[in-house]
Amino acid sequence: MTVAVLNAVLRPLIESRLPGWVDARWYATKQEAFDLAPQAEIGWFDFFRRDDMAAAIDAAQGMKWLNSIFAGVEAFPLGLLAERGVVLTNGAGINAVPIAEYVLMLMLAHAKDYRAVMRAQERREWLKDSPGKRELWGSRALILGYGAIGQEIDRRLAPFGVEVSKVRRSPAPGVLTGDEWRARLGEFDWVIVAVPATAETEGLLGAAEIAALKSNAVVVNVARGSVIDQAALTAALAEGRIGGALLDVTTPEPLPESDPLWGLENTHVTMHLSGRAQELSNQRSADRFIENLARYHRGEPLEPVVDYALGY
């Protein structure tokens, strides 16, 4: 029997589908997870606090496969997992659809200044004109990070007549690589950030890149706050040097009440909700886990596997 230590939240979605060779042991609290971890050959430990994640993984010394619903893996002790030879499968792509929908919603809300419309409704004021007249049709967008999320965003922008350029680390037809995109920053109306958080992407949009944007350009960030120089972005927004920012992620999180981003009229802060604006995340994760169990039993490669050298 193979011992799998799993979160009891997922039990209704998984238990009846587990093959006979799996001995599932369920935890409902952090302490139960820590106590069960030494028994795990397969573990599914998802905690929001880094120290809790590290404690569970440290205790699971016999673990061979660690599964996670999280797409970003910066909270995991990747060095320790690599040293132990543990295979880590993450949630890459699980929330790509809702995040892409969220990006489209943010862009439309900004273009039509829907926030002003809602405020008018709260005042019971009948507006005589639309506060926002910007159209997505004919605009140009740059997607930084053309993985599962970036590709879903691209699919949704196409019917709206947005011309999309995309950037990814690995070469592919029609994709910008390396620093090619930096020289073209001044061409785009929308700069959408969907890269993984790694040492390589930290500060990817710095002061120089922000200074190169068009005066009406809008930055959309659904990656991590660390990918953008937030101080430089805040200054550009406050001084009206760029058109706006639609930020689902910030540094730090939660964003302090005193942070000036909250009060900028050209900025939307949406509290890291894009991946949570859905109802099927746990179901998708459970389905993927069951599929991977079959692969694991057959000795086949699991999907998707985190590359420890790349950090995603």
**Which residue numbers are catalytic?**
224, 253, 272
Q: What is the DSSP string of 184-207?
A: GGGG-SEEEE-----TTTTTSB-H
Of 100, 61, 70, nearest to 88 by C-alpha is 70
- DSSP code at position 168: -
Burial (CB count within 10 angstroms: exposed 0-12, middle 13-18, buried 19+), residue 40: buried
Q: Which helix (H) or strand (E) holds 214?
A: none
Cβ atoms of 226 and 203 closer than 8 Å: yes
What's the gap between Cα 94 and its chain centre?
Answer: 10
Helix (H, G, I), strand (E, B) or coil at 252: coil
Amino acid identity of 71?
Answer: A
**The tokens 């922000």 sit on which residue?**
210
Burial 69-107 (b: 16+ CB within 10 A, else e): bbbbbbbbbbeebeeeebbbbbbbbbbbbbbbbbbbbbb
β-pairing, 163-167 vs 140-144, is parallel
* Token output for 312: 């995603």
Measured on CA atoms in the order 48, 51, 56, 62, is the torsion positive or negative? positive
Cβ atoms of 43 and 4 closer than 8 Å: yes
Cβ atoms of 88 and 68 closer than 8 Å: yes
